[in-house]
């Protein structure tokens, strides 16, 4: 690991000022914030990230989960994954989020990892993690080793000829189905970004993963209040029963009335280059009867544009079944 | 390197040696046999001593104060030092093990302010003022923690390398939300890998302690 200067931010403006000195907030940024450290230290040990300055933001007052006056929920960027998963309001009103968090990583990692850090979690693509291999995300223009290589776990939705790396987070999939808003403070003030717009598709610039600019600090995530009668579910399929990234996952947030879908939000994990909101599946479901044939129709629509690689064709059918089953779970009469 | 671990003091192999000094001598002997004559091994160069050796100045080191197993300690460390390396190399608390060093195996599990974490994925500097508990802090020979005693009773290990991490995870689990079934314990222990496969015995040990609590 390269040497770096360590400092501890005493307040938000100190962190933002330090971050603003960096020419980028994306891959290879020379200034990095550290919170839980579970991604950053891992990648620094691999020389995938080589910051010259590490700013510890753990003492900033961003560790609360609070109900908003409008009925929504405000989640501080430094709330640990385990605390968020066990928060009583999250468990009762946003079950999909609690389930997604508890299906991710291990108990130790969940005690460390934060909300903001999980949003910015990096891909597990083996070529991104190996500096001996070509990777456009790590080294723009060097090529993509996954196209002709080991791509069994990689994405089938939102890919480009330059990158097929998967966003590995479970939390992000739940937050996408919940239509979360990311609140950012930066050198130019505060702004809010809908989670759907926060993550970028790889396109020609796979090294740009999100909208964060130098000095930007995620301060909190807010969730809208869900309408009465809304149920939510996270279903994750993987190679092991526990402590493994998703091959495929589905988050369903559904309001059902008189046996029909009134309002439904669908997001998929393990298959997209970003947490994958499926507007196509939602369009099929809205207004339709709660029925297995409808679930299957929506799942087919969600995967219509799938572009599998040499080893991950199985993910198309797996994801259809995953979403079909998640819809069944979410609409079981309480 | 302590006196008893110096190569050439071969007679101690036959005497009453600790597991650690025995393994350490085996390692040195292996290097000696393959790379250089025995006589040269007696002249250990300073470069071969550990980076955390007390008394050696480290460029760019910063002071960190920790409360480790109830005792206040202050060290000067390179900012790159993980909490794991700080415990093992600077504080000589070698009960906590380094397995994968990437948060995948759980061998390095310790408690920070009462919560279990992977000490390999945290810089020690991030823990200034924190309360750290390691395997050395939960029980001693003759006065074992109930979880340590249950691991012995149920044979919850084979080679023993993952054991301190398993026990630190298991002790933390006692205070976490966890259902009653074996499956619930397995889920919450999935961050601790045992390549000998002692899992059924580990689960039995944990369930015994939970039932008696």
Dist CA A72 CA A93 (whole Å): 10
Beta-carbon contacts of A1 under 8 Å, excluding residues fewer than 6 positions away, are: A44, A45, A47, B80
Q: A-side interface with B, Cβ within 8 Å?
A: 1, 3-6, 8, 34, 36-38, 41-42, 45, 54, 56, 58, 82, 86, 105-109, 111-112, 241-243
Which of B126, B169, B182 to mutate against chain A (most A CBs within 10 Å)?
B126
Minimal Cα distance from B109: which residue of A?
A: A108
Residue B53 in tokens: 């050796």
Confidence of residue B56 (pLDDT cuts 50, 70, 90): low
Share of chain A above pLDDT 70, in %: 99
Q: Where in chain A is the domain with CATH 3.30.43?
A: 5-56
Q: Is residue B80 part of a domain?
A: yes
Q: Is residue B57 part of a domain?
A: no
Whether residues B70 and B123 fall in one domain: yes
pLDDT digits (tens, 9 = 90+) for A62-91: 999 999 998 999 999 999 999 999 999 999
Q: Where in chain A is the domain with CATH 3.30.390.50?
A: 230-330
- Among all chains, which residue has been given the structure tokens 């993509």? A144
C-alpha torsion sign, points B52, B53, B59, B62: positive
Which residues does chain B have within 8 Å of residue A111's beta carbon, measured at their own beta carbons?
115-117
Residue among B60, B79, B191 whose CB faces A107 most closely? B191
Confidence of residue B37 (pLDDT cuts 50, 70, 90): very low
Which residues does chain A have within 8 Å of residue B122's beta carbon, measured at their own beta carbons?
37, 41, 112
Whether residues B151 and B131 fall in one domain: no
Closest CA to B90 of B113, B64, B126: B64
A230-330 folds as Enolase-like; domain 1 (3.30.390)
Rounded to an integer, the average pLDDT of A15-43 is: 98
pLDDT digits (tens, 9 = 90+) for B146-192: 999 999 999 999 999 999 999 999 999 999 999 999 999 999 999 99
Whether residues A109 and B121 touch (CB distance < 8 A) is answered with: yes
Minimal Cα distance from A1: which residue of B?
A: B80
Residue among B106, B125, B190 whose CB faces A6 most closely? B125
CA distance A300 to chain B (A): 32
**Cβ–Cβ < 8 Å for A107, B191:** yes
Residue among B122, B188, B192 whose CB faces A112 most closely? B122
Dist CA A251 CA B103 (whole Å): 26
A5-56 folds as 3.30.43
CA distance A41 to chain B (A): 6
Q: Which residues pair with B64 in a beta bridge?
A: B75
Which residues does chain B have within 8 Å of residue A36's beta carbon, measured at their own beta carbons?
121
Which residues does chain B have within 8 Å of residue A82's beta carbon, measured at their own beta carbons?
115
Which residues does chain B have within 8 Å of residue A107's beta carbon, measured at their own beta carbons?
116, 169, 172-173, 176, 188-191
Dist CA A170 CA A237 (whole Å): 11
**Cβ–Cβ < 8 Å for A217, A184:** yes
CA distance B97 to chain A (A): 15
Closest CA to B91 of B106, B117, B110: B110
Q: What is the mean pLDDT of chain B?
A: 83
Instruction: Determine contact: B85 vs chain A, CB below 8 A.
Output: no
Minimal Cα distance from A42: which residue of B?
A: B102
Whether residues B29 and B94 fall in one domain: no
* Structural domain span for residue B129: 62-137
HEC secondary structure over chain A: CCCCEEEECCCHHHHHHHHHCCCCCCCCCCEEEECCCCCHHHHHHCCCCCCCEEEECCCCCCCCEEECCCCCEEEECCCEHHHHHCCHHHHHHCHHHHHHHHCCCCHHHHHHCEHHHHHCCCCCCCCCCCCCCCECCCCCCCCECCCCCCCCCCCCECCECCECCCCCCCHHHHHHHCCCEEEEEECCEEEEEEHHHHECCCCCCCCCCECCCCCCEEEEEEECCCCCCEEEEEEEECCCCCCCCCCEEEEEEEEEECCEEEEEEEEEECCECCCEECHHHHHHHCCCECCHHHHHHHHHHHCCCCCCCCCCCHHHHHHHHHHHHHHHHHCCCC
CATH number of the domain encompassing residue B121? 3.10.20.30
Q: Residue A164's Cα: distance from chain center in Å?
A: 16
Per-residue CA distances from A43 to A50, A128, A212 (Å): 8, 10, 19
Closest CA to A109 of A83, A75, A76, A82: A82
Whether residues B120 and B164 fall in one domain: no
Whether residues B78 and A112 touch (CB distance < 8 A) is answered with: no
Dist CA A160 CA A143 (whole Å): 12
Q: Is residue B54 part of a domain?
A: no
Give the pLDDT of residue B55. Answer: 55
Which residues does chain A have within 8 Å of residue B77's beta carbon, measured at their own beta carbons?
none
Residue B49 in tokens: 């001593």
CA atoms within 13 A on the CB side of A267: 29
Q: What is the number of structural domains in chain B?
A: 3
Which residues does chain B have within 8 Å of residue A3's beta carbon, measured at their own beta carbons?
60, 78-80
Rounded to an integer, the average pLDDT of A323-330 is: 98
Question: Which of the residue ranges A113-122, A322-331, B27-36 would you say has the lowest mean pLDDT?
Answer: B27-36
Q: Which of B76, B110, B137 is the last residue of a domain?
A: B137
Instruction: Determine contact: B125 vs chain A, CB below 8 A.
Output: yes
Confidence of residue B42 (pLDDT cuts 50, 70, 90): very low
Dist CA A84 CA A64 (whole Å): 9
Whether residues A109 and B191 touch (CB distance < 8 A) is answered with: yes
Whether residues A109 and B118 touch (CB distance < 8 A) is answered with: yes
Q: What pTM value is reported for the model?
A: 0.90
Beta-carbon contacts of B54 under 8 Å, excluding residues fewer than 6 positions away, are: B90
Residue among B82, B117, B176 whose CB faces A112 most closely? B117
Residue A229 in tokens: 């009668």
Question: Which of the residue ranges A50-54, B58-62, B109-113 would you say has the lowest mean pLDDT?
Answer: B58-62
Per-residue CA distances from A35 to A42, A61, A92 (Å): 13, 12, 27
Give the pLDDT of residue B59. Answer: 74
Window 183-212 of B, Cβ < 8 Å to A = 186-192
Rounded to an integer, the average pLDDT of A260-279 is: 98
Beta-carbon contacts of B121 under 8 Å, excluding residues fewer than 6 positions away, are: A36, A37, A38, A41, A42, A109, A112, B82, B102, B103
Whether residues B62 and A3 touch (CB distance < 8 A) is answered with: no
HEC secondary structure over chain B: CCHHHCCCCCHHHHCCCCHHHHHHHHHHHHHHHHHCCHHHHCCCCHHHCCCCCCCCCCCCCEEEEEEECCEEEEEEECCCCEHHHHHHHHCCCCCCCCCCCCCCCCCCEEEECCEEEEHHHCEHHHHCCCEEECHHHCCECCECCHHHHHHHHHCCCCCCCCHHHHHHHHHHHCCCCCCCCHHHHHHHCCCCCCCCCCHHHHHHHHHHHHHHC
Residue among A107, A112, A241 whose CB faces B188 most closely? A107
Assembly ipTM: 0.96
Which of B64, B123, B130, B165 to mutate against chain A (most A CBs within 10 Å)?
B123
Q: Is residue B53 part of a domain?
A: no
Confidence of residue B19 (pLDDT cuts 50, 70, 90): low
Q: Is residue B55 part of a domain?
A: no
Q: Is residue B185 part of a domain?
A: yes
CA distance A125 to chain B (A): 15
| Other CB atoms within 10 Å distance of the CB of residue A275 | 27
Confidence of residue B60 (pLDDT cuts 50, 70, 90): confident
Which residues does chain B have within 8 Å of residue A118's beta carbon, measured at their own beta carbons?
none
Which residues does chain A have within 8 Å of residue B82's beta carbon, measured at their own beta carbons?
41
CATH number of the domain encompassing residue B195? 1.10.150.120
């Amino acid at each position: 690991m390269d040497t770096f200067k360590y400092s501890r931010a005493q307040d938000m403006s100190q962190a933002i000022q330090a971050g603003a000195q960096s020419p980028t907030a994306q891959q290879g940024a020379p200034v990095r914030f550290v919170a839980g450290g579970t991604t950053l230290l891992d990648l620094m040990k691999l020389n995938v990230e080589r910051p010259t300055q590490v700013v510890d933001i753990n003492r900033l007052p961003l560790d609360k989960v609070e109900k908003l006056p409008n009925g929504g929920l405000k989640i501080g960027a430094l709330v640990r994954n385990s605390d968020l998963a066990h928060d009583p309001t999250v468990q009762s009103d946003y079950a999909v989020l609690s389930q997604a968090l508890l299906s991710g990583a291990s108990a130790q990692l969940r005690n460390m990892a934060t909300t903001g850090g999980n949003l910015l979690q990096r891909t597990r693509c083996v070529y991104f993690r190996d500096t001996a291999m070509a990777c456009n995300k790590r080294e723009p223009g060097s090529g993509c080793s996954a196209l002709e290589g080991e791509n069994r776990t990689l994405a089938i939705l939102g890919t480009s000829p330059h990158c097929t790396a998967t966003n590995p987070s479970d939390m992000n999939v739940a937050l996408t189905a919940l239509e979360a808003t990311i609140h950012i403070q930066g050198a130019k003030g505060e702004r809010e970004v809908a989670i759907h717009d926060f993550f970028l598709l790889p396109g020609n610039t796979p090294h740009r993963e999100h909208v964060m600019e130098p000095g930007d600090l995620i301060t909190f995530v807010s969730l809208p209040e869900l309408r009465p009668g809304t149920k939510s579910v996270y279903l994750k399929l993987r190679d092991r029963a526990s402590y493994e990234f998703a091959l495929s996952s589905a988050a369903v947030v559904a309001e059902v009335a008189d046996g029909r879908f009134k309002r439904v939000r669908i997001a998929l994990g393990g298959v997209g280059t970003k947490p994958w909101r499926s507007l196509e599946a939602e369009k099929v479901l809205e207004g339709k009867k709660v029925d297995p044939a409808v679930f299957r129709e929506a799942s087919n629509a969600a995967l219509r544009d799938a572009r599998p690689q040499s080893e991950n064709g199985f993910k198309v059918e797996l994801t259809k079944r995953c979403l079909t089953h998640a819809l069944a779970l979410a609409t079981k009469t309480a | 390197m302590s006196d008893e671990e110096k190569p050439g003091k071969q007679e101690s192999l036959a005497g009453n040696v600790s597991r650690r000094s025995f393994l350490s001598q085996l390692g040195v002997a292996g290097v000696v046999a393959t790379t250089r004559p025995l006589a040269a091994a007696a002249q250990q160069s300073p470069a071969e001593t550990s980076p955390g050796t007390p008394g050696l100045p480290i460029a760019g080191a910063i002071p960190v104060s920790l409360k480790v197993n109830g005792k206040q300690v202050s060290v000067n460390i390179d900012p790159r030092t993980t909490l794991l390396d700080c415990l093992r190399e600077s504080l000589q608390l070698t009960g906590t093990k380094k397995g994968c060093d990437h948060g995948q195996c759980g061998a390095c599990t310790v408690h920070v302010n009462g919560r279990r974490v992977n000490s390999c994925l945290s810089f020690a500097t991030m823990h200034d003022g924190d309360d750290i508990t390691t395997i050395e802090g939960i029980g001693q020979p003759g006065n074992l923690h109930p979880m340590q005693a249950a691991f012995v009773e149920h044979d919850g290990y084979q080679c023993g390398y993952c054991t301190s991490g398993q026990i630190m995870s298991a002790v933390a689990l006692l205070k976490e939300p966890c259902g009653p079934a074996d499956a619930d314990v397995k889920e919450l222990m999935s961050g601790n890998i045992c390549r000998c496969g002692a899992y059924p015995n580990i689960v039995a040990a944990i369930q015994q302690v939970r039932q008696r609590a």
